[in-house]
Amino acid sequence: MRRIRIATVFTHRRPAETDPALTTLIELAREAGVTLRFDPEETEKHQIAEGPFVERNAPLDPGVDICFALGGDGTILNALRRFAGTDVPVFGINFGEMGFLATVDRDEAWAGSLRALAGDFEVLSLPAIEVSGAGTKALAINDVSIHRQPGKRVADLEYSVGGDDVGRVRCDGLVVSTPAGSTGYNLANGGPVMAWGVHGYVVSFISPHSLTARTLVVAPADRLRVDNRSQEEPVEVTVDGRPVGVLEAGDRIEARFVIDQGSLAQVPGTTFYHRLRQKFGRLATPL
């Protein structure tokens, strides 16, 4: 087990939902002698008071022992990106809808916090997609999407892998997804679910205007290049659901698979397949 001394805390945008669990976490941390750090946004959001083992308005420190993320997958993804490449584990407590990346659900907040403060968890290393070009450089833990802007014509996207042209598709957009992100936007596109631990990434299309556009699983060492072949229409680029740039007509963007970027805390013994059944199976309506 890890020894936990200093932790960072992030929460989602609805503080009233997370305040009770956050109060519990602060009390448990004090009892365990663990210092909790809150950045200026979190300090203001929750009106964090001065006190022992609490640091207010704290800058991001890549040397902390753990990061608590109280929220949904968006909050957890934000934490994973903030600590990308640092080996700081992110312990997610689900206060969202799906919470596929969460370590525990909200009704387990007390027990989960105790477990995390005691260092009683396993760590899963997650890959990422690095996207660059056209004035954009960003890291995605789940996915990169390139999609047409509202009210504009369909996108005209040409893509190549490893320097070889693969195809050109008129569509609403294209999604580049990691295994962790394959259960998100990619799944909605009809793309495959990729088990965590698979090295590689998947390219799927949003409403392709073609009968030949097919999802493609790409080898980890191969780079993907996407060209906007529209004569005048720009397309938007988003990372994990957040806008990061625009690909103008004639512009090009590249994506590559990068290993060991995120560190996700898991309850010992948890498997991807158990998580898949737990999160998606319970949404099914019994016959």
The residues carrying an active-site annotation are 73
Among 79, 106, 95, CA closest to 240? 79
Among 73, 254, 94, CA closest to 180? 73
Among 18, 60, 23, CA closest to 39? 60
Q: In angstroms, rounded to a whole number, what is the distance separating the alpha carbons of residues 274 and 280?
A: 10
Q: In angstroms, rounded to a whole number, what is the distance separating the alpha carbons of residues 123 and 106?
A: 20
DSSP state of 227: E
What is the distance between the terminal CA atoms of the chain, rounded to a whole angstrom?
A: 44
In a 13 Å sphere around the CA of 267, the CA atoms on its Cβ side amount to 17
51 by DSSP, 3-state: which? coil
Q: In angstroms, rounded to a whole number, what is the distance separating the alpha carbons of residues 82 and 101?
A: 15
Parallel, antiparallel, or unpaired: how do β-strands 155-161 and 164-171 relate? Answer: antiparallel
Amino acid in position 254: E
Q: In angstroms, rounded to a whole number, what is the distance separating the alpha carbons of residues 122 and 265?
A: 6
Among 62, 65, 58, 59, CA closest to 33? 65
Encode 151-176: b = buried (16+ Cβ within 10 Å), e = exposed: eeebbbbebbbeeeebbebbbebbbb
